[in-house]
A and B are shown apart, each in its own frame.
Chain A
């Protein structure tokens, strides 16, 4: 009996490891992130502007803190969504707001740009299901 239990535990551990690698932080089903400002199609003069990050049915929490139903914002600039089971890159196309910021002052060169929000968990990995906004286009003049 004891041996059976041990074997069962062993199997569970082995079986458990595989999904654990891919297991991502769950997000509430109705969670929604969106860009409050600028609106899609906005024309911005001067190049510097505030991006206001909206989040519904979920909370904001700084990086490194593992709590249910929270995450932190990432602003994706001029890029597509990254891989959803890896840490979100940190570069000039992927801005991290790991201190719980909900607004960011951004400066972009003149021209057309895209903006999109993607929420990351305490470890900068998107949730399951991932919480991301519509991708918007803006023009900087």
Chain B
């Protein structure tokens, strides 16, 4: 009983003190800090548990379907000349880079490589070809031997969608 009374007195004193300017400042500063920390941890927790860290922020239709129309898996292609790769996309549209339009993206052809991190800009090099002008097919020439091909959609900023839209990885032989 005594403890409760003293606690309530304490609280009253604290309230009174907080009402004076310097205390109010300290309180709001610490509240802001606490808020910041909470925000940070909350964001981290959300990133950790919802899988947001493994995809970009642009939504893609759940039924979007990306596939390589040609060549087929295990296709044997004659060496020394370029061959055509068809980009197949269903339930989603194509838009050039930098164009923000719902349910669209642009194609990236991954050659002899695994999927890159799905929450970052897709690299642009000889293993990651960008089709930022809205192309839906391309000509590729590869050295003799085994190769893999895979398509990955990127949003207006070249970042994969959420959920990411990528094709089956196929193997071809050039000889």
Contacts and interface: CB of A to CB of B under 8 A. Distances in A.
Bound pair (A, B): yes
Given A56-B137, A62-B104, A70-B134, A103 B88 contact: yes
A50 B102 CA distance: 22
A101 B95 CA distance: 9
Interface string A46-79: 0000101111100111100101011000000000
B88 to A, nearest CB: 7
Contact of A36 (B69, B93, B99): B69
B104 A99 contact: yes
B93 A52 contact: no
B136 A97 contact: no
B94 interface: yes
B104 to A, nearest CB: 5
A59 B90 contact: no
Interface residues of A, number: 21
Interface residues of B, number: 22
Given A36-B69, A62-B101, A100-B101, A55 B95 contact: no
A97 B92 CA distance: 11
Interface string B126-139: 00000101111100
A55 B131 CA distance: 13
A97 to B, nearest CB: 7
A100 B94 contact: yes
Contacts of B104: 62, 99-100
Interface of A: 36, 50, 52-56, 59-62, 65, 67, 69-70, 97, 99-103
Interface of B: 69, 86-90, 92-96, 99, 101-104, 131, 133-137
